[in-house]
Amino acid sequence: MTKEKLIWIDNLKAIGIFAVILGHIASPFGTFIYSWHMPLFFMIAGFFIKFDLSLKEFIIKDFKRLMIPYFLFAIVGLLLETIKRIALHRESLDYIHEIKAVFIWMDMSSLINTYAFVLWFLPALFFARVFLVVINKFIQNIFFQFFIVSILFSCSFLVQLPLGIDNSLNAILFLFLGSVFFRFYQENKILYLLPIVLVGLYIIYGLPLFDMATKSYQNVILNIVFAVSKP
């Protein structure tokens, strides 16, 4: 891929970083930003998945890149919260709960007591990428892949699983759409109509509330369409 073709990806990354910052501060654009900033993150993460690697090689590489930083920063977040509570003479943490949150549950609701809660997306991304690679290795038909991914996405609303796996099942749809979008974007000009579809839906339905961290979808179909139309 040429340098020129990668510029739009760099622009998307820059927009995503800016949106994440705005999403974590008081802003009148909060609802709008939350409607697409995390799906955009997962879609971009799907652009360059290396499906040609062996499953073992892929897992080891992604574990080092995603999970080790998660554990390190989660522990740092726990230490910072402990120091803050001691300094302010506040009630101490339930460390058994917090350790389970970091090493077992890995979701935002469990990590909410410490600064580690902002890291919920790393385990979600790690397992979503692994699941998508497994699907790709065993299923070659893209429509059947979409069918399996859609089932996993639907199941994410029905269960709460350790290791943030329910979040990864929720994220896998956007990861898959990102990988497909990246492959066909240049060849299919019809995809440029997505922003027009987005404007039309906004005029008709307004902006549906959406928060991936808690799997809160006001309208699942509209939330997905709004999210994937942003690129």
Q: pLDDT digit string (tens) for 170-216?
A: 999 999 988 888 777 655 555 555 555 555 555 555 666 778 888 88
Residue 181 CA to its chain's centroid (Å)? 16
Portion of the chain with pLDDT greater than 90, in percent? 47
Continuous H helices in 93-160: 95-100, 108-111, 121-138, 142-155
What per-residue confidence (pLDDT) applies to 48? 82
Q: Is 90 left (phi over 0), alpha (psi -120 to 50) or beta?
A: beta
pTM of the shown model:
0.85
Mention every residue, 6+ apart, whose C-beta is less than 8 A from residue 7.
none
Q: Left if phi > 0, otherwise alpha if psi is -120 to 50, otherwise beta: which for 177? A: alpha
